[in-house]
């Protein structure tokens, strides 16, 4: 990761901005995505102590601040041949900001519409050449996360972000990583919990290994044997001693993915292991000491499950030393360039790291709802890079390939709240306790399609989750 510090001028805030607080809502300008050079990542610029932003072409992405004649000015340079040397300006007006094209050769666009002068609204996408920026009128930020930041590449284990509040949360998680405190990672599927767990282990500096266990994939009959180990002859088929995942993680980190899927008997045994720091393998009588750090993750509502008796309250308390909730991708679009750059660089598809995007393709990346989060983004980029000719990814390459295409408009428009499909989906949601993946499997459809149907048929997923 490359950080480019931006010098700040010594200025005075307006009276309304002088109020000190741990977190204030502050305005920001983000460089979200360089379409022609996506591996450049992105940048965040605070508009908090700024009156004017001047944007133009430069040899590399850079920013500087000056204070001249009572005006606090931010100069942003973007490396794009399609951007004029003097492209556009953002001007503070009252409590908001206005955008003004500076007579550029190729024009400036806000949300796909060419503009000369306009008042910016929160969330507006600003398209300048092949670069997409985003204006945010107010995001919660602490003094440390409100500073300017330029990020290229990705830090260890998913700890990179331009989103201020998420940066504060990850900073706290970094400090927790160095302490012997269990961590519970919460959030939707595909948000990167396993990557973050690996980052936690790396930051902790423990000498032992990271041992990852998908609790939902453990077979019920052998679950305790797989977790806690067994001795030779303990049961039919036990032809040798097996240490189990817990002992393999001795001295390191045990990552329990989908811990909400553990059955109650295994929860009780796991609780004893965590409380006593020792494990008794199946067929054994002598406890074996273990020293491990536990990181657990789930997309399921453990608090509600504990109230309903589906998850042990005492185990939940033991796992919840520090809780961290990962944001879904749709709530961190400002990080799209950072994520896209990192995923393309790590892709196994030949030439992916040199790929670029057309403007339409870049706009689609930023407007797609990403119901499957970063996992979906990674797959979409891999397919697109493989299909692209001359390393230029076009909008057509980013279709939901491998997932069912949307219903034809005419058929979708004919759907009404009393459509028979509504009752079928509701019954399956009830059966599967709101698990959309299970509903999709039962219907032989993609999760994306189920979400589309639920939206069209006015079905609220939260009504079916515990």
Q: Where are the alpha helices (DSSP H) in 217-282?
A: 223-228, 244-248, 264-276
pLDDT tens digit string along 69-86? 889 999 999 999 999 999
Instruction: State the pLDDT at residue 286.
Output: 87
Instruction: State the pLDDT at residue 8.
Output: 39
- Does the reported pTM lie above 0.75? yes
Q: What ranges do the domains of the chain cover? A: 21-153, 165-325, 329-397, 408-464
pLDDT at 7 over 50: no
pLDDT tens digit string along 314-324? 999 999 999 99
**Backbone dihedral region for residue 330 (phi beyond 0: left; psi -120 to 50: alpha; all else: beta):** alpha
Angle at 450 between CA 449 and CA 456, to 5 degrees: 90
Instruction: Please report which confidence band the pLDDT of residue 22 belongs to, taking 50, 70 and 90 as the band edges.
Output: low
Which of 334, 264, 321, 268 is closest to 293 using CA atoms? 321
pLDDT tens digit string along 409-434? 445 556 666 678 888 888 888 888 88
Query: Are 21-153 and 329-397 the same fold in CATH?
Result: no
**74: Cα within 13 Å, side-chain hemisphere:** 24
Please indicate whether residue 13 or residue 163 has the higher confidence score (pLDDT): 163
Instruction: State the pLDDT at residue 19.
Output: 37
Q: Which pair of tokens denotes residue 113?
A: 């519409």
Instruction: State the pLDDT at residue 13.
Output: 40
pLDDT tens digit string along 362-378? 999 999 989 889 999 99
Instruction: Please report which confidence band the pLDDT of residue 12 belongs to, taking 50, 70 and 90 as the band edges.
Output: very low
Q: Is 165-325 in CATH node 3.40.50.300?
A: yes
pLDDT tens digit string along 215-261? 888 777 678 888 888 888 777 777 788 888 999 999 999 999 999 99
CATH architecture of the domain covering 329-397: Orthogonal Bundle (1.10)
Instruction: State the pLDDT at residue 305.
Output: 93
Q: Which pair of tokens denotes residue 252?
A: 């390191």
Instruction: State the pLDDT at residue 103.
Output: 95
Instruction: State the pLDDT at residue 388.
Output: 92
Which of 321, 211, 220, 319 is closest to 265 using CA atoms? 220
| Average pLDDT value for residue range 455-466 | 78
3-state SS assignment for residue 186: strand
Instruction: State the pLDDT at residue 16.
Output: 37
Distance CA(207)–CA(174), nearest Å, equals 18
CATH code for residues 21-153: 2.60.200.20
Beta bridge mates, 125? 134
| Average pLDDT value for residue range 438-459 | 78
| Average pLDDT value for residue range 161-182 | 94
Instruction: State the pLDDT at residue 157.
Output: 64
Instruction: State the pLDDT at residue 169.
Output: 94
Q: Which of 38-42, 236-240, 310-314, 380-384 has the lowest mean pLDDT?
A: 236-240
Instruction: Please report which confidence band the pLDDT of residue 435 belongs to, taking 50, 70 and 90 as the band edges.
Output: confident
Instruction: State the pLDDT at residue 427.
Output: 87
Q: Give percent above pLDDT 90 in the chain.
A: 62
| Average pLDDT value for residue range 335-361 | 93
Distance CA(279)–CA(206), nearest Å, equals 20
Instruction: Please report which confidence band the pLDDT of residue 179 belongs to, taking 50, 70 and 90 as the band edges.
Output: very high
Q: Which of 40-44, 292-296, 401-405 has the lowest mean pLDDT?
A: 401-405
Instruction: State the pLDDT at residue 181.
Output: 93
Instruction: State the pLDDT at residue 461.
Output: 79
Distance CA(10)–CA(79), nearest Å, equals 28
Instruction: Please report which confidence band the pLDDT of residue 213 belongs to, taking 50, 70 and 90 as the band edges.
Output: very high
Average pLDDT, the chain: 87
DSSP secondary structure string, 129-157?
TTEEEEEEEEEEE-TTTTS-EEEES--GG
């Amino acid at each position: 990761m490359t950080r480019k510090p931006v010098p700040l001028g010594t200025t005075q805030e307006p009276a309304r901005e002088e109020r000190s607080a741990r977190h204030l809502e502050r305005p920001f300008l983000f460089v979200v995505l360089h379409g022609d050079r996506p591996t450049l990542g992105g940048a965040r610029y605070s508009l908090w102590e700024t009156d004017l932003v001047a944007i133009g072409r430069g040899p590399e992405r850079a920013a500087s601040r000056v204070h001249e004649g009572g005006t606090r000015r931010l100069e942003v340079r973007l490396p794009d041949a399609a951007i004029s040397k003097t492209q556009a300006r953002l001007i503070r007006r009252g409590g908001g900001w206005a955008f003004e094209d500076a007579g550029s050769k190729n024009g400036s666009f806000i949300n796909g519409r060419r503009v000369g002068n306009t008042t910016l609204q929160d969330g507006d996408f600003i398209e300048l050449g092949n670069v997409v920026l985003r204006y945010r009128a107010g995001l919660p930020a602490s003094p440390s996360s409100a500073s300017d930041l330029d990020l290229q590449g990705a830090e260890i284990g998913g700890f990179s972000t331009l989103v201020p509040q998420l940066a504060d949360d990850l900073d706290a998680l970094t400090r927790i990583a160095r302490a012997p405190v269990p961590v519970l990672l919460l959030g939707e599927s595909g948000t990167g919990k396993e990557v973050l767990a690996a980052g936690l282990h790396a930051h902790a500096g423990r000498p032992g290994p990271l041992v990852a266990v998908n609790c939902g994939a453990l077979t019920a009959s052998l679950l305790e044997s797989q977790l806690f180990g067994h001795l030779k002859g303990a049961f039919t088929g036990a032809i040798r001693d097996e240490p189990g995942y817990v002992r393999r993680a001795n001295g390191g980190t045990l990552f329990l993915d989908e811990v909400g899927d553990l059955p109650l008997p295994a929860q009780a045994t796991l609780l004893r292991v965590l409380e006593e720091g020792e494990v008794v393998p199946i067929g054994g009588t002598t406890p074996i000491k273990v020293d491990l750090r536990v990181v657990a993750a789930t997309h399921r509502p453990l608090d509600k499950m504990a109230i309903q008796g589906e998850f042990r309250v005492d185990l939940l308390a033991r796992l919840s030393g520090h809780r961290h909730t990962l944001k879904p991708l749709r709530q961190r679009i400002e990080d799209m360039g950072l994520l896209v750059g990192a995923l393309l660089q790590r892709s196994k598809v030949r030439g992916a790291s040199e790929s670029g995007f057309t403007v339409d393709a870049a706009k689609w990346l930023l407007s797609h709802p990403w119901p499957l989060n970063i996992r979906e983004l990674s797959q979409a980029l891999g397919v697109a890079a493989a299909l692209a000719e001359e390393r230029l990814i076009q909008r057509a390459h980013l279709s939901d390939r491998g997932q069912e295409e949307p219903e034809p408009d005419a058929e979708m428009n004919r759907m009404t709240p009393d459509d028979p499909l509504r009752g079928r989906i509701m019954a399956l949601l009830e059966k599967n306790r709101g698990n959309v993946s299970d509903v999709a499997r039962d219907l032989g459809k993609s999760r994306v399609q189920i979400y589309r149907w639920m939206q069209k048929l006015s079905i609220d997923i939260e009504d079916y989750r515990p």
